[in-house]
Structure 1
């Protein structure tokens, strides 16, 4: 994988390339990012660049023997470790290596749920077990076959339990020309003993324009639709791609109208809305609730005087300003977000959508009636 194939992250790409040019590649690095930011593709492109036999100033060549093997993930000095679902046939990650390679070739932007869907996971818990740690040590103790640098990329080291301490010595004192790249999403869940032995590389979320550009060029979406999907994805390219599989709703109009119904205490209209929402399908219901949560967070910025931080389209911004001026206050926004987050949680767990949306609609009416509370009063919701 080459850097040019990765969406956005131009600053990080430049920093990584510079470390190679200046010969200051740390032997153990932790790429920390939120889901869908491209940390795993970046790690692979970085490893390919390091071992490219004819690298340019900005990318690997993509043509040399090393690059051709990297492109297919079959280079003998490129190793992967990742969470898997142990069974009598699957003891270590290499037992599902073909599935891993196939998934990377299909799309290197994925999450644990997508990875689970490629395997016979049943109800098992994913982990990186002690057998996998021993296999890593064994593989890295061998001399490099072809490349100057052996590379191990571990995806989601959060799934290393205390057995991960078996890797401490080889991470701290690796064989010559060995590079560890850990690709993580939650720093707090990583063993502190491993964390302290790595150099942290923070990878930011993709910005809205990068997601929007991807949707316009790759998915050939209409600009207004790409704008809404980018807002819903909130920097997560995986979520943006998943949204493409669903029939789009006009979430902005629906949500604004829903709030107006609550403000006007229009219960019959809200019951009618409940019938409509119940027929959307589960993913579209989740997207609607997610849009509402993100929209209300932007409203809270307006209410707090952070207008310059708001990331809404002109049309949605106009609605947000009107609602923030005439309907919402911070206590209300906090309470509404709480209700929508609970609803999203229950939709994911197959709650009856008609009952759920009716309940949330009635809670919305109840919350908005507190508009007249004195400024600074905290609203307590169940």
Structure 2
């Protein structure tokens, strides 16, 4: 994977190239940043460069055939000197004695990487058919990684270990990895791709060179949408603003079956029925939402909080303050006047309370019907 395939982040790319030019590549790097900013993409691009992938015309390998071979292996993410560590589940029926490692899901991992270097934990869990299981990095992983990295480089250059979401290591694995970082194998580079660095052991963090990655700037995101998804400039501009520097969120807004469109329909239905004081249909609405899974219910409530905020801002008549899709704006242009100084705080608190209650396993039918009834009162405030 080339640096040119990473969306935006030009300053980080230059910094990584400079580390190589000045021969100051550290033993351990930690890429930190918000979801969808391209942390994994940058780690993959840097690993590819260290292992011989050309950056323009430049490569760390001198032999042209070696470069071709390296690029062919990296295209499938099957380079023998590139090792991946990532959280995995323990499938039902697995022996209790078996210590799960990344190798148990190699095929699924390569399929995910080949689709795109931009993905979320939810996407990875879906690849593993995880259902409600939690994915972790266990003690068996550190043992396997130690074994792999003790071998000599097959190509005579760097060995690279990419650890995705190291904050999901259990204590035993983290302690074993710490020993490996204290005495790293020769010419080995560890790259940690981290979303919650505070969850890592301080002793591990102290042995890394941290690279903080900001959200993708809107111009780069907009250009990527135009070039990679062939959409018009106006749509790309609107989606880039809504995405907030998150490529995954930008793609979600392009999906025909986008969950947010369902959420918009449910938000519109709630507000219209509450305005009409239609108790019977509000009860049906609450029962329909109660049929969603709890995580989906919480996502719906977060979406509603965003819509309340955006409709309140819409009243100011300044487009640069609003982050709405075209469908959302079509509804908000008439609805926004109902969200005002007299009710915006109370509506937001009502939604936050429902979000908290659902997270604490309260009865969803009761929570959402209560929400719907209270919305009737709040909407008529002026």
Q: Is the shorter-chain TM-score for this pair beyond 0.5, marking a shared fold?
A: yes
State the superposition RMSD in angstroms: 4.5
What CA distance in whole angstroms lies between the structure 2 residues aligned with 1:68 and 1:335?
Answer: 58
* Cα distance change on mapping 1:4 and 1:167 into 2, 3 Å: same
* Structure 1 residue 240 displacement after superposition: 3.3
2:305 aligns with 293
What CA distance in whole angstroms lies between the structure 2 residues aligned with 1:71 and 1:345?
Answer: 44
Contact 1:232 1:294 in 2 (8 A): no
Q: How does 1:130-141 map to 2 (within 5 A)?
A: 130-141=139-150
Deviations 1:75-111 (A, max 9, x none): 1110000001133366311122122111111222222
* Cα distance change on mapping 1:297 and 1:122 into 2, 3 Å: closer
2:249 aligns with 239
What's the secondary structure of 2:193's corresponding residue? strand
One of 205, 210, 228 as aligned partner of 2:215: 205
Pair 1:73-2:77 in alignment: yes
Structure 2 gap segments, 5+ residues each = none
Structure 1 gap segments, 5+ residues each = 372-382
What CA distance in whole angstroms lies between the structure 1 residues aligned with 2:321 and 2:114?
Answer: 37
Deviations 1:9-61 (A, max 9, x none): 22222222222222222211111122222111110101111222654478899
Contact 2:346 2:378 in 1 (8 A): yes
* Structure 1 residue 160 displacement after superposition: 0.9
How many residue pairs are counted as aligned between the two chains? 365
What CA distance in whole angstroms lies between the structure 1 residues aligned with 2:14 and 2:217?
Answer: 17
What CA distance in whole angstroms lies between the structure 1 residues aligned with 2:190 and 2:298?
Answer: 37
Query: More deviation in 149-158 or 112-121?
Result: 112-121
* Structure 1 residue 180 displacement after superposition: 0.6
1:363 aligns with 374
One of 187, 191, 209 as aligned partner of 1:177: 187
What CA distance in whole angstroms lies between the structure 2 residues aligned with 1:175 and 1:364?
Answer: 61
Could you state the TM-score of these two structures normalised by the residue count of structure 2? 0.75
Query: More deviation in 63-72 or 170-179?
Result: 63-72
Pair 1:12-2:12 in alignment: yes
Contact 2:30 2:210 in 1 (8 A): yes
2:176 aligns with 166
What CA distance in whole angstroms lies between the structure 1 residues aligned with 2:124 and 2:343?
Answer: 39
1:375 aligns with none
* Cα distance change on mapping 1:194 and 1:285 into 2, 3 Å: closer
What's the secondary structure of 2:212's corresponding residue? strand
* Structure 1 residue 233 displacement after superposition: 3.9
What CA distance in whole angstroms lies between the structure 1 residues aligned with 2:266 and 2:128?
Answer: 38
Could you state the TM-score of these two structures normalised by the residue count of structure 1? 0.75
* Cα distance change on mapping 1:11 and 1:249 into 2, 3 Å: same
Contact 1:36 1:238 in 2 (8 A): yes
* Cα distance change on mapping 1:270 and 1:119 into 2, 3 Å: same
1:376 aligns with none
* Cα distance change on mapping 1:254 and 1:137 into 2, 3 Å: closer
1:377 aligns with none
* Cα distance change on mapping 1:101 and 1:250 into 2, 3 Å: closer
What CA distance in whole angstroms lies between the structure 2 residues aligned with 1:166 and 1:18?
Answer: 31
Contact 2:338 2:380 in 1 (8 A): no
* Structure 1 residue 131 displacement after superposition: 1.2
* Structure 1 residue 323 displacement after superposition: 8.8
* Structure 1 residue 235 displacement after superposition: 3.2
What's the secondary structure of 1:64's corresponding residue? helix
* Structure 1 residue 249 displacement after superposition: 3.8
Deviations 1:357-379 (A, max 9, x none): 654343334445676xxxxxxxx
* Cα distance change on mapping 1:110 and 1:346 into 2, 3 Å: farther
What's the secondary structure of 1:66's corresponding residue? helix
What CA distance in whole angstroms lies between the structure 1 residues aligned with 2:322 and 2:18?
Answer: 32
